[in-house]
Amino acid sequence: MSTRAGGCSRAPYDSLNLGDHVGDDPADVRRNREHFAAALGAQPVFLTQVHGTRVVWLGAGDVLQQNAGGAPAIEADAACTTEPGIACTVMVADCLPVLFAAPDGSGVAAAHAGWRGLAAGVLENTVATLCEASGCTPGELQAWLGACIGPRQFEVGDEVREAFGGEAVAQRFRATGVAGKWWADLCGLARDRLQAVGLASISGGQWCTVEDRSRFFSFRRDRLTGRMAAAVWIRREGG
In a domain, 19, yes or no: no
In a domain, 216, yes or no: yes
Residue 79 to residue 125: CA distance in whole angstroms = 10
144 shares its domain with 155: no
pLDDT confidence bin for 167, thresholds 50/70/90 = low
115 shares its domain with 191: yes
Answer whether residue 3 shows pLDDT above 80: yes
127 shares its domain with 94: yes
Residue 114 to residue 219: CA distance in whole angstroms = 12
Mean pLDDT of 144-167: 94
Q: Residue 63 has what pLDDT?
A: 77
- Number of domains the chain contains: 2
Let me know: does 98 contact 202? Beta carbons within 8 Å: no
In a domain, 101, yes or no: yes
Mean pLDDT of the chain: 94
69 shares its domain with 172: no
In a domain, 16, yes or no: no
84 shares its domain with 114: yes
In a domain, 7, yes or no: no
**What DSSP assignment string belongs to 210-233?**
TT-TTT---HHHHSS---EEEEE-
In a domain, 226, yes or no: yes
Beta strand pairing call for 108-113 and 96-101: antiparallel
Let me know: does 145 contact 191? Beta carbons within 8 Å: yes
118 shares its domain with 169: no
* pLDDT (tens digit per residue) in 197-239: 999 999 999 999 999 999 999 999 999 999 999 999 999 876 5
Domain of 72: which CATH number?
A: 3.60.140.10
Q: pTM score, two decimals?
A: 0.95
**N-terminal to C-terminal alpha carbon distance within the chain:** 19
Phi, psi of 87 (to 5 degrees): -95, 115
180 shares its domain with 138: no
99 shares its domain with 200: yes
Q: Residue 213 has what pLDDT?
A: 96
Mean pLDDT of 77-86: 97
119 shares its domain with 225: yes
Q: Residue 208 has what pLDDT?
A: 98
Sheet harboring 181-184: ordered strands across?
A: 155-157, 181-184, 173-175
Q: Residue 48 has what pLDDT?
A: 95
Beta strand pairing call for 78-81 and 108-113: antiparallel
158 shares its domain with 73: no
Domain that holds residue 169: 151-184
Q: Is the bond into 2 cis (omega within 30 degrees of 0)?
A: no
In a domain, 107, yes or no: yes
In a domain, 238, yes or no: no
43 shares its domain with 129: yes
**What DSSP assignment string belongs to 66-121?**
HHHS-PPP-B-SEEEE-STTEEEEEEESSSEEEEEE-GGGS-EEEEEE-HHHHHHT
Give the DSSP letter of residue 56.
E
196 shares its domain with 163: no
